[in-house]
Chains A and B, each alone.
Chain A
Amino acid sequence: MLGFNALVSIALVYGAFLFGVAFAAERRAAGGRDGWLRSPWIYTLSLSIYCTAWTFYGAVGYAARSGLEYLTIYLGPSLVMIGWWWLLRKLVRIGRVQRITSIADLISSRFGKSGLLGVIVTLLAVVGVTPYIALQLQSIAQSLDVFAARGEGGWTAQGGGSAALWSAVGLALFTILFGTRNLDANERHHGIVMAVAVEAVVKLGALIAVGVYVVWGLGGGASEMLARIDASPIAAWEQSGGRWIGFTLLSAGALLCLPRMFQVLVVENADESHLATASWAFPLYLALMSLFVVPIAVMGLEILPEGANPDMFVLTVPLSQGRDGLAVWAFLGGFSSAASMVMVATIALATMMSNHIIVPLWLRSRTGGAMMAGDVRAMVLTARRVSILGVLGLGYLYFRLSGGGTALASIGLVAFVGVVQVLPALIGGLFWRGATRAGAATGLLLGFAVWLWAMFLPSVGDGTAIPAAVMRAGPFGLDFLRPQALFWTGGLDPVLHAALWSLALNVAGFVGVSLASFPGPVERLQGAQFVGVFDHSEGPGSWARGAADAEPLLVMAQRIIGAPEAQAIFANHAALQGKEGRLPDVTPDFIRTLERELAGSVGAATAHAMIGQMTEGVSVSVEDLIAVADETAQIMEYSNRLEQKSAELERTAAALREANAKLTALSVQKDGFLSQISHELRTPMTSIRAFAEILREGGLEGAEQDRFAAIIGDEAGRLTRLLDDLLDLSVLEAGQGLLDLRPTGLGGVIDRALDAALPLRDGLRLRRDPALDGVRIVTDPDRLAQVFINLIANARKYCDAAEPELRIVWNPAAHAVDFIDNGSGIPPDQGRVIFEKFSRLSDAGKAGGAGLGLAICREIMTRLGGGIRYLPGQGCGVFRVELPQVAAPLGIEQPVTG
């Protein structure tokens, strides 16, 4: 007979073997030879952690009590796997694209990287799963007690309790060793996954071995066995439809929401195509796991004494027949189920706790923010290790406190209903853009509260957490709040009752608040990326160009993901941007990439917050918002186009109105111009005609004849000048005529103008600024000289001072030449009109011109790119000729003296 020492030795050897397997897998992966470690078969086997000790031992017990109902726990997940095209495909894609680290991270990331939601889901998971871990420890203790109960080897039932403690210590060690080797949760834990795969084979093999022994060794073949089933106490088919459908849906939801399942399904997924294989291979695994459950249960009921614990039939049936080898195999199978569940669940919970609770708190406690946070990497790893110890410690504590009694038996379903509270937010977040953070938080909290009240607290034990009176009559006598008969629905099965009310209020809160609230920009962005993950997997990022430099970002990244990895990311991105060196430009694209990398280590919310500190706040670019508004993008674009069109039309109409006004004004001007010009032409014509007629009549003296002929000549000359000016003006106004632009000295132009206007320098004293000689400009010197001539001639004509004087001064600030005479200036009311055509100050005779001079000057200066102005209110006549600014090489030179 098998003694205690032998059994413990076998367990220890098995544990050492798992250590070896995990270690070898890590070595292979580190050496890059991880080809078959990433195969779809390993992936499928790692999913087997769904089958915990609760199902390994408990399924037989469940079948012995309730017949075929245990199958619902396996049929639900099978449905989800077969329907992978609906949901899992999307979930896995999102997990990969967004670098999701846990189910809490998924919910937090979907709803705007919300820290609060991460905390809620984490707490829910810890409360829901800790008892489940306790259940695994209990199963190890119980299975050892089965061997102990035979009273051999000198150990007592108390041995089971200490075995649970040592198992917990061993599992913690294993998990810390292989589960926290790397920080990035997206990097697969090859050691753990490999150990889980081996355990999957061991537990399936064990159950099938016991089953085959029961059917063909004890039962006498398949048809004989079916007959025994029909003769057994569970032969009647009395299945309740509500429980059948309810539990199937519940276990289907649990497959998606259990933190450990999310870990292996999504986080540890190396390749989306593995899902295709798992979609049929995992249902096959589940079918095989449950195939022999009923035969074992029936045989146990048949051959074991009344009152034997049906939960341990897998062990006690072979033991009762003296099949110790088989029993040990079954024990190892049960141990494997418990161990793999505990390891993966602990990693998943520890990741959630460190990323969503410990690290954010720690960062907040640091005043300097992410920059001054020191070695974040080491801190996060420590947080994760402490969390692992904490989770396992909590599990062990729960196991001790609950006394390891029968209260734990129902904990599997309790945990299922608890974690399924995440399902509405999960499904809504994946398929409904309208789901908001407020809605998700409301739904989760409502569901969590109802679950605690209606299921979790009552499950701790009758009268322990909730007094028996409250259970019977409700709190404060409110009988519609009785934990197991909410709203007078006491007729329901307790599990269905809790699931129904928690999920119903959860969904109602989630949908109702979502409909009523308005999401923030990051929420909308994440919503668009999650719901439309197949449309834009490489979707737009959420960071506009921030104030961050690449260097502090690199310093921070090194602290989180390690120096070589961070430097590699930066260098790669610099190369992508086509930059030399190792620091890329801080583009939104780069920040998005970096944030995803960080999210793989510390979760989306924390990574977002850290990057946010560095880049000074959250901002969403216009492109992002367009992507967010995918559903309305087309409408928006259409209305934008309409708006553009209407704006264009408005502009056209405005332009037309303006053109019309201009044409009207022009036509008025033309009328004025024509009457003006006919007047101007008529005056000399009249005198020419008069004197010509006098001359034709004859009888004049020679001297008189000469005088009249001279008058005719003068008047004809005036007409010619007028026509010349008009021609000149029309050419200038039409923009015709080429300008002869060239670098010119301003002094030379002035001198030429003086020579032309005052050849004898008489009648006007001149003071010429020597600074003019140093100014060089690019202009048409002939045209400019024409302007100057006009101004000098005007000064000579109009200056009313006793001793007329003209100063020509260079004004460097205005880049202009000022012509300042000492006369009384132009009356203010006329200052504005002097540049108009045919405006003349005093009588025409004195000016001897047609009043076009300044109009021409203005046109010339406009065409040269400068301007001409009369500066009023100076007490004297000041005309300013502004010259166009020119490029530096042609600019102002120092006047050359000497």
Chain B
Amino acid sequence: MADPSRPGTRPPVFLARASYRRRRLHDTARLAPLAAAFLWTLPLLWPHGETRVSAVLVYLFGTWGLSVLVSAALARALRRSERDLDTSG
């Protein structure tokens, strides 16, 4: 992603870049549970009988941990963007 504030680069196409980013952040926050739901239903498609339950267990807890990390990052970003919004008026 290009840094818009770097000198010498062309002016950004979107003038309200900050608010554009914020809205996309909100979109990400809305999409996160859908992604997690997809990951957590995926094992249903794995062949019955052949799949070892330990593999499913490891997979589920792995994706669970991943979801926690992603949503922690999202929560941080959302809180910061709300704070910026408050201070910048």
Which residues between 261 and 305 of chain A lie within 8 Å of chain B, taking CB atoms? 273, 276-277, 279-281, 283-284, 287, 291, 294
Binary CB contact string for chain A from 49 to 92 against chain B (1 if under 8 A, 0 otherwise): 00000000000000000011001000100111111111000000
Q: B32, A82: Cβ atoms under 8 Å?
A: yes
Q: B41, A244: Cβ atoms under 8 Å?
A: yes
Q: A230, B49: Cβ atoms under 8 Å?
A: no
Which residues between 19 and 41 of chain B lie within 8 Å of chain A, taking CB atoms? 26, 29-30, 32-34, 36-37, 40-41
Q: A226, B54: Cβ atoms under 8 Å?
A: yes
**B interface residue count range (under 10 / 10 to 19 / 20 to 34 / 35 or more):** 35 or more
Q: Which of the residues B33, B43, B61 comes within 8 Å of A83, measured between beta carbons? A: B33
Determine how close the nearest CB of chain B comes to the CB of A69; give it in whole angstroms.
11
The reply on B51 being an interface residue by CB < 8 A is yes
The reply on A245 being an interface residue by CB < 8 A is yes
A sample of 24 cross-chain residue pairs with beta-carbon separation below 8 angstroms, ordered by A number, consists of: A68-B60, A71-B60, A79-B33, A79-B40, A82-B32, A82-B36, A83-B32, A83-B34, A84-B29, A85-B29, A85-B30, A86-B33, A235-B54, A236-B53, A237-B51, A237-B53, A241-B44, A244-B41, A244-B44, A279-B75, A280-B74, A280-B75, A284-B68, A287-B65
Determine how close the nearest CB of chain A comes to the CB of B75; give it in whole angstroms.
4
Q: B56, A287: Cβ atoms under 8 Å?
A: no
Determine how close the nearest CB of chain A comes to the CB of B32; give it in whole angstroms.
5
CA distance A80 to B71 in the complex (A): 12
State the majority secondary structure of interface residues on A. helix
The reply on A234 being an interface residue by CB < 8 A is yes
The reply on B85 being an interface residue by CB < 8 A is no
State the majority secondary structure of interface residues on B. helix
The reply on A442 being an interface residue by CB < 8 A is no
The reply on A677 being an interface residue by CB < 8 A is no
| Chain A residues closer than 8 Å to B67, beta-carbon distance | 78, 82, 283
Binary CB contact string for chain B from 55 to 66 against chain A (1 if under 8 A, 0 otherwise): 011101100110
Q: B79, A276: Cβ atoms under 8 Å?
A: yes
Known: A68-B56, A82-B36, A287-B65. A237 touches B46 (CB 8 A): yes
| Chain A residues closer than 8 Å to B6, beta-carbon distance | none
Which residues between 596 and 627 of chain A lie within 8 Å of chain B, taking CB atoms? none
CA distance A554 to B55 in the complex (A): 66
Q: B30, A86: Cβ atoms under 8 Å?
A: yes
Which residues between 437 and 453 of chain A lie within 8 Å of chain B, taking CB atoms? none
Q: B30, A238: Cβ atoms under 8 Å?
A: no
CA distance A235 to B50 in the complex (A): 10
Using CB atoms and an 8 Å cutoff, list the residues of chain B in contact with chain A. 26, 29-30, 32-34, 36-37, 40-41, 43-44, 46, 48-49, 51-54, 56-58, 60-61, 64-65, 67-69, 71-72, 74-76, 78-79, 82
| Chain A residues closer than 8 Å to B71, beta-carbon distance | 81-82, 279-280, 283
Q: Which of the residues B53, B56, B68 comes within 8 Å of A280, measured between beta carbons? A: B68
| Chain A residues closer than 8 Å to B54, beta-carbon distance | 226-227, 229-230, 235
Known: A82-B36, A239-B43. A291 touches B68 (CB 8 A): no
The reply on A167 being an interface residue by CB < 8 A is no
Determine how close the nearest CB of chain B comes to the CB of A624; give it in whole angstroms.
28
| Chain A residues closer than 8 Å to B56, beta-carbon distance | 68, 237
The reply on A139 being an interface residue by CB < 8 A is no
Q: A85, B53: Cβ atoms under 8 Å?
A: no
Q: Which of the residues A80, A238, A248 comes within 8 Å of B40, measured between beta carbons? A: A248
CA distance A71 to B53 in the complex (A): 13
Closest B residue to A276 by beta carbon equals B75
Closest B residue to A287 by beta carbon equals B64
Closest A residue to B76 by beta carbon equals A276
Which residues between 491 and 544 of chain A lie within 8 Å of chain B, taking CB atoms? none
Known: A241-B44, A283-B68. A229 touches B57 (CB 8 A): yes
